[in-house]
């Protein structure tokens, strides 16, 4: 094991705490910076403490996101400190890099360009599907102009199977996307406009649903709600998962279970990925100091807190969670998952951790 072995909560001598920060509801709300955000990062940078950002947000390259956050904070951050919801999609390039994939979320060519930058070469958007099959979604009045502007009719759908459907951020035309996804999941081999003869066959697993080389379906953000400038949390990608589950249930007469893979917090895949990024970043900062405890600081008990609580470190680190009161969590309510500590905001959360370390040192615990 490359990390440390922690017994009875005490950390070995040369260890230090590290931080994994959620972004929305911790550092920012919509376009607004949360008070204390800048000082917190400045403090950690001055101490040379390892920290990374782990967000279920996305839609841009890690480089672009880090530039935006750096600019807002007025500080310099490194793209290597940044794990977005779709960052682990990098690991799918070896399998799908040369196959046709349908990418969903955001608007314009944003996700097409992003997927290309990740290394996916054959990328379609739902606007491309509309360009080639204009009648696929009967209710296009509100979004027609967008699809006409960005859709490319490649004339390939009859001969090209779609191998994967990948959400990269929240859908901007969910009605259309739900229709296309359902069509593809019921298709024969991922060919738009076909129907698998295996659908509903009780002799097959899942009653024959998604048993005929249909595309694999990937989501990158299970969050049902997220914190914005609006006074109440808003739907995130998890709402699309819930909607699709309901539709699939109806379409299959309750016989087929929707088969999909989800990454993003709180999934294990994402925490494994984040821990690797944190370890590398910590080593880059100071190869001589190991990480002892990782503090996940987030605003969403169903995402940040449960993810940290249920994660079993691959590096021998101890993971603890701190819930802040500046986002999704309603102060005073009982959180869906109990954190190790609750703090008013990110600044107080970090101060609590640093105070704890100091007390431990005074009491000779580490």
Give the C-alpha separation, 99 to 108, whole Å. 22
Min dist CB 327 to Mg ion, Å, is 5
173 binds Mg ion (CB under 5 A): no
Min dist CB 265 to ligand G3P, Å, is 6
Residues 269-328 interacting with Mg ion (rule: CB under 5 A)? 299-300
Distance set, CA 103 to CA 53, 111, 125, 246, 258 (Å): 24, 7, 5, 21, 18
Q: Among residues 167 and 191, whose Cβ is nearest to ligand G3P?
A: 167
Which of ligand G3P, Mg ion, none lies near 55, with the C-beta cut-off 5 to 8 A by kind?
ligand G3P
Which of ligand G3P, Mg ion, none lies near 313, with the C-beta cut-off 5 to 8 A by kind?
none
Which of Mg ion, ligand G3P, none lies near 233, with the C-beta cut-off 5 to 8 A by kind?
none
Min dist CB 22 to ligand G3P, Å, is 5
Which of Mg ion, ligand G3P, none lies near 222, with the C-beta cut-off 5 to 8 A by kind?
none
Min dist CB 223 to ligand G3P, Å, is 4
For residue 151, what are its two tokens?
A: 């859709």
Which of ligand G3P, Mg ion, none lies near 221, with the C-beta cut-off 5 to 8 A by kind?
ligand G3P
Min dist CB 29 to Mg ion, Å, is 9
What is the H or E stretch that residue 324 is in?
strand 318-324
Q: Among residues 24 and 290, whose Cβ is nearest to Mg ion?
A: 24
In DSSP terms, 186 is beta-bridged to: none
Min dist CB 27 to ligand G3P, Å, is 8
For residue 69, what are its two tokens?
A: 């956050």
Binding residues (CB under 6 A) for ligand G3P: these are 22-25, 55-57, 221, 223, 226, 236
Q: Among residues 22 and 183, whose Cβ is nearest to Mg ion?
A: 22
223 binds Mg ion (CB under 5 A): no
Which of ligand G3P, Mg ion, none lies near 57, with the C-beta cut-off 5 to 8 A by kind?
ligand G3P
Which of Mg ion, ligand G3P, none lies near 293, with the C-beta cut-off 5 to 8 A by kind?
none
| DSSP per-residue string spanning 214-267 | PPEEEES---SEE--SSSS-EE-HHHHHHHHHHHHHHHTTT-PPPP-EE-STTS
Q: How far apart are the first and last CA of the chain?
A: 21
Give the C-alpha separation, 299 to 295, whole Å. 13
Q: 252 near 209, Cβ under 8 Å?
A: yes
Q: Among residues 81 and 221, whose Cβ is nearest to ligand G3P?
A: 221
Give the C-alpha separation, 355 to 359, whole Å. 6
Q: 265 near 54, Cβ under 8 Å?
A: yes
| Residue 217, C-beta contacts closer than 8 angstroms, at least 6 positions apart | 164, 165, 181, 185, 258, 259, 260, 261
Min dist CB 41 to Mg ion, Å, is 16
Min dist CB 169 to ligand G3P, Å, is 7
| Main-chain phi, psi angles of 112, to 5 degrees | -55, -50
25 binds Mg ion (CB under 5 A): yes
For residue 55, what are its two tokens?
A: 């967000």
Q: Using CB under 5 A, pick the residue from 11, 24, 62, 345 that binds Mg ion.
A: 24
Q: Among residues 163 and 221, whose Cβ is nearest to ligand G3P?
A: 221
Which residue ranges make up the site for Mg ion (CB under 5 A)? 22, 24-25, 299-300
């Amino acid at each position: 094991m490359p990390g440390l072995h922690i017994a009875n909560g005490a950390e070995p001598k040369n260890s230090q705490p590290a931080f994994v920060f959620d972004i929305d509801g911790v550092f920012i709300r919509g376009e607004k910076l949360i008070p204390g955000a800048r000082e917190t990062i400045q403090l950690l940078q001055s101490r040379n403490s390892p920290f990374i950002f782990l967000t279920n947000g996305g839609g841009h390259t890690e480089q672009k996101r880090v530039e935006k956050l750096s600019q807002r904070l007025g500080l310099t951050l490194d793209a290597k400190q940044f794990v977005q919801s779709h960052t682990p999609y990098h690991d799918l390039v070896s399998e799908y890099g040369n196959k046709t994939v349908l990418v969903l979320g955001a608007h314009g060519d944003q996700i097409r360009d992003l997927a290309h930058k990740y290394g996916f070469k054959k990328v379609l958007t739902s606007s491309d599907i509309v360009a080639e099959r204009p009648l696929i979604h009967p209710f296009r009045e509100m979004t027609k102009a967008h699809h006409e502007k960005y859709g490319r009719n490649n004339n390939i759908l009859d001969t090209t199977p779609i191998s994967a459907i990948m959400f990269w951020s929240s859908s901007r035309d969910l009605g259309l996307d739900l229709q296309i996804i359902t069509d593809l999941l019921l298709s024969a081999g991922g060919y738009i406009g076909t129907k698998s003869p295996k659908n509903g066959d009780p002799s097959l697993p899942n009653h024959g649903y998604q048993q005929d080389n249909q595309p694999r379906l990937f989501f990158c953000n299970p969050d049902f709600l997220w914190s914005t400038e609006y006074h109440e949390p808003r739907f995130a990608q998890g709402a699309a998962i819930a909607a699709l589950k309901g539709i699939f249930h109806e379409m299959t007469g309750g016989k087929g279970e929707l088969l999909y893979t989800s990454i993003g917090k709180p999934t294990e895949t994402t925490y494994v990925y984040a821990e690797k990024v944190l370890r590398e970043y910590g080593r880059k900062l100071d190869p001589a100091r190991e990480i002892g405890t990782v503090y996940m600081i987030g605003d969403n008990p169903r995402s940040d807190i449960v993810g940290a609580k249920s994660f079993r470190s691959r590096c021998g680190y101890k993971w603890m969670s701190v819930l802040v009161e500046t986002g999704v969590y309603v102060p005073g309510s009982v959180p869906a998952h109990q954190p190790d500590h609750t703090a008013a905001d990110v600044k107080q959360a970090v101060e609590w951790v640093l105070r704890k370390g100091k007390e431990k040192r005074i009491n000779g615990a580490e």
